[in-house]
Structure formats: C-alpha cells, structure tokens
Structure 1
Amino acid sequence: MTEASGRRPAGESVLGALRERPEDQDLWDRLRVRQFPGARINLDPGAIATPAQAVRAAMQGFWDDELFAYPEGQVQRGRAERRRARALAAALWGGDPPALTAGTSEALRTIASALSERLGGSESPLLLTSGHEHPGATAAFEPGFRAAILPDAALRDPAAAGAIAAAQRPAILLLSQVTYTIGQVIPVREIAAAVRAAAPEVFVIVDAAQALGLVPPALTGADFVVASGHKWLFGPPGVGLAWASTRARSELPLLTAGDASEEGGCAGLERRGAHDFSVYAGLAAALDLHAALGQVALKRSRTLAAWLARELHERLLAAGVAHQFFDPVTGEERETPPTADGLLATVSVTLPAVDVEAVCASLQPAGIHVRCVHERRAAGKRTPLLRLGAPCYESTARVRRAVDALVAAVPHAGRV
C-alpha cells in the first residue's frame, strides 16, 4: 500500500450517478446497500454514525502484509495515512492541514490546559459560552476557569454578543457551529468578530463536531476549530480534526511540542505512542467519500429530515401527543415542523408529557437508534428532547418504520 494508494470509494459509479441524478431513490438505496448495509436504522449519527463500508475496508486493508507483527511498519504506514488525511481535509475546506486528534473532547482538554498555562494568574480566566454546548466540551474548562453563559437571543444576534463581551471581557469564547441539542446553526464567524472587537485578546474556539460533514468548518476568525470524524463524515470512532491559528501556535507552546518531522497541524494535539493507526486510513476513506458525494449528500439529508419532521408531526398529532419542534435557525420552539430550507440534517422535538429516555431505550431492541438529549435551559434546568438525524443514505421507507415504532412506544414510556 502506498501513501497515496489511489483507492477510490467503493461504488464510485453510484456516486457519480448520484451527482447527476440526486433525486433518484434507487441510487440512494444502492449506496446504502453498498456502503451502509444492515437492518439497524441509526438515526443518531450526531453521536456515533455508522461507518461506511469503504472506511471499514480501508482500516482492514491497513493491516495487510502482517503489519500486526511489524511495529515500525505500523508507525510508517500510520504516518503516511495521517499525511493523506490531512491533505484531503485541506483540499476540502482550505486552511492549513489540521491536526488529527483522538476526538473533540480530548482535543478540548489539551487546548484548555494550554490556555490555562497561557492565561493563568491571580484570577481565573473567563470563558464565554452558550447553554447548548456538549458537556464534554465545557467539562474541559471546569477546573481553573470561570464561565458566563450567552443568552439564547445572543446566539442569533452578534451585536448583542459583542455588547456582553464588552461588559464581561472574556478570555475565551467557546461556541458550537451547530448545536448538539437542537441542531441550531450558530453564526459563529459573526459572533466571533463582534466578541473580538470588544475583547481583542480573546481566544475563539469553535466546536464543529456536529457541523463537519454537513457544512464547512468555520475557520475564519477562529483560533481553534475542533471536530469529530465519527459523526457526519461516517468515519471511524477514535479520530478527530483540529485546526489552530497562527496566533494559537505561536502563543501556546504546549500545542507545538511533539514530533518536528510531522508537517502541518499542531503536534501537541495529536495522539502519541502506540495506538490503532488504522483510524487514519479510515478517516482518509471517509474524506474521500465525502468529497465524492459533495453537496448532493447535504441536499438529500435536508430533504429527508424535512420529510421525517412532517411524518413525525402528523403521527404525533393523530396520537394526541403534545409536542414542539425546534427551529434550527432561531432556536425557538414551534408548533409546526421545520422545512428543508432551514434544516441541515437533524430534527429535534420535545414531548413535554413523555419519558423521552424510556422511548429511546425501548426502540433499541428493535434496531432503531435515536438520541435523548438533555437541553440546558435558563437557571440550569435541563429539558429532555428527542434528536433524530437523517443520514443521506437512508430511505423514506426505513425512516417511516422508525417513526412508526417511536410513536407506538410513546404510550408505554410513561409520564414525566
């Protein structure tokens, strides 16, 4: 296997046809059978997506030539695949090649340590963030940092966020590009610019874990952008991506410490020592597949998510179950389902009188997987909601089966 082995995604003829005929359901069914076979219906790609067959094949192929018994060969091939994945990411989204991390949460812990070392003093640095961040992200900053929460209204009003920053003078801004709770698309570039105008020394961190694979990472104006490879890229668990600005690399020496022979990225953010190097081959295959699908995948997910929302709405209405959807643009609750023009790939709905966790658990034996998310509200209250993702390869027939099972489970889930 060579560094640039020339592997092409399995089923490339299908991928090419999809770019020409993105509305052809038969082609999407063929893609699912080839790349995402199996009876289980995973509508939780925002947690751990189903890896594509091309990803699994690349990881298995990594171990050719009895590489399990050849330690130096593992290291050399791992470096080659890592370079290839970095180059693919740079070609897709621009910027410098990213560091390849063990995942978003671990990368943020390293970044938090570097910032604590840089900003440490008599007073704990202030972190300005939102109430919609993943617990794994905010937990990285719990020791040694103070936190201020932007109100939800400021997440759609950069001027309001800037005014808060002028009063608070934060040292760090941490925001999701797409929230893991309700799938809200945050104008992080505009908010970062407004906050930096009020607090010029602020370090801006963008959590793109829920965004990468759906929209390009918001690199402009950020000191760090961290993302996962195992969500909407359909890559392997255990690998993520992290971009660092020139300023971050120059001011945070902890992040640049490491193997000087490895070009690009931040060596201090990358996994060291012995580990499963095949994940880099898997990530490269996932990036290949993402590049081959292009915008047709996002359009398909948007269309399927809108269909899912309408189907779920009609079924819940017929069953007399009170529910509200979340608008992915404003973040506000609404009685009617969101439409495709405002969606990316997820639908979030609250069922006020239903034990949502019990619903999710009851679906798993049937091979249907959705997510219960505890959304943080004012005064620390956390409201459980259902989050359903619509991966591009799924069919309306399979999604309808999942919706039918979900609605049927509601009467048996109990009341909250």
Structure 2
Amino acid sequence: MKKLSSIFFTCLAIAATISGAHAQMRVEISGVGSNQIPVAVAGFVNEGVSPQKISEIIKADLERSGAFKIIDAGVVSDLNNIDYSGWKAKGADALVVGTVDVFADGHYDVRYKLLDTVKQEKISDLGKAVTAKFARQTAHLIADDVYFKLTGIRGVFSTRISYVKEEGSNYHLMVADADGENEQVALRSKEPIMSPSWSPDGTKLAYVSFELNKPVVYVQNLVTGARTLVANEKGNNSGPSWAPRGNKMAVVLSKDEHTQIYTVNVDGSGLRRVSNSTDIDTEPQWSADGESIYFTSNRSSKGQIYRMSSDGGEAQRLTFNSGENTSPRISADGKTLAYISRRDGNYQLFALDLASGQEQRLSDATDDESPSFAPNGKYVIYATRSGNRKSLVVVSVDGRVKQRLTTKAGNIIEPAWGPFMQ
C-alpha cells in the first residue's frame, strides 16, 4: 500500500501556527466539462467514525472539477468481491471504494482503491494513518489521485488558496483549502493587505501591507509565524512575485521617481532594477522556468502586457486589442496567459493562447480582478463583484465550469492559488 504524500507534515506545522477561523465559504457550481468520465464513489466502510465523511469530500471535489459525472454508489462493504460488470451496467467506468478504521492511539486508518470496471482491475490504491485534523486533507489527496489516474493531469484538490477578507475596517490574510473549507487566519490588520503571493514550496506568503502608512512588502512564514520585511524603499513597494527557485522575488518600486520592476533576495538584499522605461512598469509575474517576467506597462499609452527576460532587457508586447489589459498571470506550462481586460467599461477575465493568439473571455461579470492559475494550469481563481459584495470564482480554462466561493459577511479579494505541496 502506497503512503500518502509528506504534505501532511508540512500542513501540520502550518496549521499549528496560523489561527483557525469558524466561518467557511459557500461553493456554488455551474456548468459541466466536456467528455465527463462516469465515476461511482461508494461510501467508505465505517467512515462514520471519522470526523469527516471521506467519500462525501471526494465526491464534492470530483464534481467541482467538471471532469466527472458522479454516480452515487451507496456503501460497498466487501472490497474483495467487486461486481465489475454490475457497476459497468450502472454506467460507471471507474469505482472508488474505501475503509476507515480507528487505531488505539486515536489515529484514523484511511484506505482507498480506484477500480476500472471495464478492464476489471485495480488502477490505484492509497492508505494513510492520520489524526482527525487531517481527515479532510486525506480525502483531497485521494481525489487528487483519482483525477490524475483518470485524466493524466495532476489534481489540485489538496492545494491551498490565499485571499484577503475585508470585514468592516479589518483586513485578514486568509489561507484555506482549495474548496474554501478549513479557513485559517495568517495575519490580522487594521490596514489594507494586498497581493498575496505563495512561495514555491507553499510555506510562505509574500504580501503588501499598509501598516507603515505606505505599501511595503513582507514575507510571512506560515510554519514558524516569522515575518520578514523585504522591500521598504522610498515611495511605494508592491507587486511581489516569487522566482521559481524561491530565493528571490520581483517587486515594483517607485524609489527613483519612475515605477519600475526590481528583483530582490527574499531577505531584502541584492536589489536590482530589471525594467527600464520612463513609464509605469508594474504587476510582475515570473514564468515557471524562471527565464521570463510578464508585466503590465503603459508604455503604449494604455496598459498592455509585456514579457522580458528575468535579467531585464528588451520587452515584447503580448496583448494588442483596443482595450486595457492588466494583471498578467502565466500558466505553469507557459502556454496560456490570463489577464483582466477593460472593454466597453467592463473589467473581465480573459485567457490568451500564446501560440495561436486565440483569446477567450472566461467571465460574464463586469468587475473582475486578481486572477491566479491553479498549479496544474486547468483552472483560474479570481475576484469579482456581484451586487455590493466581492467574492471569488474558480473557472476552468475552457470557460465551461465555474465555482463561486462566497462568505456570509465582508468582501473576499486578492486571491492567490498555492503550489503543489511536495
């Protein structure tokens, strides 16, 4: 039986440091993906002993992805004698089954199998002894395994998201599971918090705080709780983006009168200017290979998106429509650029295939901001306004599936999707 990832140990350290939050987000799903895979998910034997129903979380994860048609399977108690033909007749190409047991020390032994009803064989199995705190994370990891084994694409259910929650005059930097559950507070402030950005290993968040009466860039260690001041130069300090190796980041500074892009070591040393214009260069985003930085500039009169070497040099313009294009985010494979485009007075999320130049609008709203790719490149999370409230939306890159994440009170803004945990 394979063991689940060491993500548990990292998550345990993070959860022990940041504060819990009682309010959770509500998820509303609309649309379905094309070519859905029919999967039966059975209730796990004895899962009532667990604080979380493992099978229900798995079903919810797979359903939210839009990639699967979920077939309710009741409880399959005899895992050694599976009626493959019977499940195939019910329309299931795959079957998820499992068990939950309790050890004397209070740990839960969670085991699962993914079965192919066509070939009548096991596709995968996983098992892990976990504490009650990580029952939900176990379910997400199982859903990730199902997603990967059936699509060939790595799942993102066990990843985490960060965002800023505005409640009156209070600002909270939040961390949650990708489904909006398990909300935790990383930082509380009376001053605005902006632009959270995950470190490549998922243990730190860079962000902009106004607590010194101007924008300043900090890094918060989610494991130890330690905080490092990275950029507090004259003028504004903003737009942190981590380099893929995690040793430095790109930031936006106005210390030399012009707003330009710099790179800096995570400890605040080694400041170096990499963009060179007399206009405003802002919103840097590092490519996954570390070779390029994507950014917004008004050097073409209106804000447009450019790409330059991470060492600086000549910039290549990437967006050419008549609108204003900002907030560039590049997928991990470097093929798709997501951004916010202003057209006819509306701010909407678009995606651009860089090879073909084909552009697709992913939002029907009119006030979108702050896109962020899932680490597998298949989904984008962004903030949008509906009525007088701001909430988060996750949309598939083909635009077919949308999930809206809302909270009972306050606005949710500035989302950032965390990396795969190793």
Task: Normalising by structure 2, report the TM-score.
Answer: 0.25
Relative to its length, the structure with more strand (as a share) is 2
Relative to its length, the structure with more helix (as a share) is 1
- Which protein, 1 or 2, shows the higher relative CO under an 8 Å CA cutoff with sep ≥ 6? 1
